[in-house]
Structure 1
Amino acid sequence: MTQTFSDHHSHSHTHSHHGHIHSEESQRKIINRLSRIEGHVRGIKNMISEGRDCPEVLIQVAAIRGALDRVARLILDEHLSECITRAAQDGTIEQEIETLKSALDRFLPS
Structure 2
Amino acid sequence: MASPPESRPPRSQGHHPPQDHSHVHIHDPESQKRLLNRLSRIEGHIRGIKTMVEENRACPEVLVQVAAVRGALDKVARIILDEHLTECVARAANAGDIEMELAELKAALDQFL
Describe the superposition over 1:43-99 as per-residue Cα deviations: whole angstroms up to 9, x where unpaired: 000001111000000000000000000000010011011100000011110110010
The 2-side partners of 1:57 and 1:30 are apart by: 25
User: Runs ≥4 in structure 1, deviation > 4 angstroms?
Assistant: none
Normalization by structure 1: what TM-score? Answer: 0.83
Gaps of 5+ in 1: 1-10
- Choose 1 or 2 for highest CA Rg: 2
Query: C-alpha displacement at 1:15, in angstroms?
Result: 3.8
Q: Which has the higher contact order (CA 8 A, sep 6+)?
A: 1
Q: Judge conservation of contact 1:15–1:95 (CA < 8 Å) in 2.
A: no
Aligned length: 96
Q: Give % identity.
A: 67
The 2-side partners of 1:89 and 1:14 are apart by: 20
Map 1:1-110 → 2, pairs under 5 A: 14-16=20-22, 18-108=23-113
The 2-side partners of 1:57 and 1:82 are apart by: 37
Normalization by structure 2: what TM-score? Answer: 0.81
